[in-house]
Amino acid sequence: MLDLIKEPWPWYVAGPLIGLTVPALLILGNKSFGISSSLRHICAACIPSGISFFKYDWKKEVWNLFFVLGIFFGGMIAAHFLLNPAEITVNPQLKTELAGYGITDYTNQVPVQLMNFESIFTLRGFIMMVVGGFLVGFGTRCAGGCTSGHAIMGLSNLQWPSLVATICFMIGGFIMANFILPVILSL
């Protein structure tokens, strides 16, 4: 049984399980699924200031903080106890392409050659971690939510803005992966 949990799950199992969180949240507590709003709740709880954006009753959304905390601890438990020691399966053509950029280690979810403390002081690492992190946060705020909120919750509620946001996320991801990332990796 433990070996089954350690293996990557196919999309047709993992997808519906993730998708079932939407009706579960709606039925159990009339709550909307989303992760990016938890940062606002944390700031509203921890930073006593006169900023109007943080002046609301964040205690009504404390369930979201517990949800995110559960995701964090679930990830920590899985990384510690359920780690699959096998190398991550990567398409051979992608391996060949990435080897041209010096990426050859597939023992972690994210290649060590890209994401490590030392690489943040390189141009490539700074662009990927700092600039990329800023753009993700900025885009999340501009879009009124993150990919999980829009693509999972918004689409299941047939919200037009979520459809537009999800299409834009997909187009942006395609452009990034095929045109911008190769330029950054070659730095």
Asked if residue 82 and residue 27 are part of one domain, the reply reads: yes
Does residue 35 form part of some domain?
yes
Does residue 96 form part of some domain?
no
- How many angstroms separate the CA atoms of 133 and 120, rounded? 12
Looking at the structure of the chain, the number of domains it has is 2
Does residue 82 form part of some domain?
yes
Asked if residue 66 and residue 3 are part of one domain, the reply reads: yes
Does residue 102 form part of some domain?
no
Does residue 99 form part of some domain?
no
Q: Which pLDDT value is given to residue 160? A: 94
Out of 29, 64, 86, pick the residue that ends a domain: 86
- Whole-model pTM: value is 0.76
Asked if residue 138 and residue 73 are part of one domain, the reply reads: no
Does residue 93 form part of some domain?
no
Asked if residue 152 and residue 81 are part of one domain, the reply reads: no
* Positive/negative CA dihedral, 35, 173, 114, 133: negative
44-83 per-position pLDDT tens digit: 888 877 888 888 888 888 988 998 999 999 989 988 888 7
- How many angstroms separate the CA atoms of 105 and 26, rounded? 42
14-42 per-position pLDDT tens digit: 889 888 888 888 888 888 877 888 888 88
Asked if residue 139 and residue 187 are part of one domain, the reply reads: yes
Q: Which pLDDT value is given to residue 148? A: 80
127-142 per-position pLDDT tens digit: 999 999 999 888 888 8
Asked if residue 177 and residue 121 are part of one domain, the reply reads: yes
Domain range for 155 is 117-187
Asked if residue 79 and residue 122 are part of one domain, the reply reads: no
Does residue 140 form part of some domain?
yes
Asked if residue 82 and residue 1 are part of one domain, the reply reads: yes
Q: Which pLDDT value is given to residue 130? A: 92
Q: Where are the alpha helices (DSSP H) in the chain?
A: 2-6, 11-19, 21-29, 37-46, 62-81, 92-99, 123-125, 132-143, 147-148, 155-156, 160-175, 181-185
Asked if residue 80 and residue 17 are part of one domain, the reply reads: yes
Does residue 41 form part of some domain?
yes
Q: If you average pLDDT over every residue of the chain, what do you get?
A: 87
- Does the pLDDT at position 116 exceed 90? no
Asked if residue 122 and residue 81 are part of one domain, the reply reads: no
**Length of the chain, in residues:** 187
Cα–Cα nearest to 139, from 151, 127, 147? 147
